[in-house]
Structure 1
Amino acid sequence: MDAVALALARLGFLGRSPAAPGTVATVVAGIPAAWAVAQLPYGWACLVVAAVFFLSCWACDRAQRILENPDPGQVVLDELAGYLVTVIGLPATGPSLLVGAFFFRLFDIWKPWPVSVLDRELHGGLGITADDVAAGLYAHAATAFLLPFLEKL
């Protein structure tokens, strides 16, 4: 099970990207996954996002113990969970997916309160995943706010 958890936590090879693995995972895995999830009825989409959250908590917890690092950069399943929170319920258009990716990475890197508190105080897989989900909530709000203005351009 350790190999499965590590492969999931890394999203296969994406977590081994030599530069910005979180951003690579958001763009390469997150955008197509978000588009696919958006094709589902909203209730099913919420269930998929919840399942990714719980899977991320489990896989990231195992991966951080295997790698002996409390928040290894190569663990990127949490980015997928956070990005899906960013775009759930929004139209799956090119602008919304790209703007959502921008805002998600901004809030995930910046870690405004309470994202920073979750990052600092929670540990294990829940800690690795929770701050990304919180950043996703901020990014969702920012993306939803900006989209009507983008549609007028």
Structure 2
Amino acid sequence: MKRLLLHPVHCLAFGFGSGLAAKAPGTFGTLAAIPIVYAMQLTGLLTYSVITIIAAIAGFWICGYTAKTLGVHDHPAIVWDEIAGYMIAMIALPFTWYNVLAAFALFRFFDIVKPGPIGWCDRNLKGGAGIMVDDLLAGVASAVVLHAVHAIFNLSF
């Protein structure tokens, strides 16, 4: 499996190797997203948003291609979906320790529990969409909760 990291598409799908963790690869994939989010936030909201959209759209192909190569629909080592989902969870939020931690916890919660439409997508979509959409929705749900908390408690951005 490690030899697949030499292929650029598989390297992305495996979250630069974070998805090869023996336990909780999705959690390690989400952790790998944190420095990416930090670097992206330095570019400003517009660039951050464009890169996030590109990562999400490209993820359909990246994850689908790697799944097809491995012959497994949603292999645990494929974590690009977690990276893109966490990027969404942190959109338009300042990079503070409490936002990073809250986004991480909420995203992992929605990704693992898969409530409502998140679970439906996970069970019913196939290919790259079946890998990506549930995590993108988990990211959206996390962002909605975080932005609502900021609004309700009048937290400054």
Taking structure 1 as the reference length, what is the TM-score of the superposition? Answer: 0.90
Aligned to 1:12: 16
1:35-46 alignment to 2 at 5 Å? 35-46=38-49
| Aligned-residue CA RMSD (Å) | 1.8
Gaps of 5+ in 1: none
Q: Kindly provide the CA deviation profile for residues 43-97 of structure 1, in whole angstroms up to 9, marking residues without a partner as x.
A: 2111000111122111100111111111110000100000000010111111101
Aligned to 1:88: 91
Alignment of 1:131 with 2:134, yes or no, is yes
Contact 1:10/1:75 (<8 A) preserved: yes
Aligned to 1:78: 81
- Percent same amino acid among aligned pairs? 31
1:23 and 1:125 map into 2 onto residues whose CA distance is: 20
2:21 and 2:154 map into 1 onto residues whose CA distance is: 32
Match of 2:114 among 111, 114, 120: 111
Gaps of 5+ in 2: none
Contact 1:60/1:75 (<8 A) preserved: yes
Taking structure 2 as the reference length, what is the TM-score of the superposition? Answer: 0.88
Q: CA deviation at 1:150?
A: 10
Aligned to 1:53: 56
Q: Partner of 1:75: helix, strand, or coil?
A: coil
Q: Larger deviation: 56-65 or 34-43?
A: 34-43
2:42 and 2:120 map into 1 onto residues whose CA distance is: 34
2:155 and 2:27 map into 1 onto residues whose CA distance is: 25
1:102 and 1:81 map into 2 onto residues whose CA distance is: 15
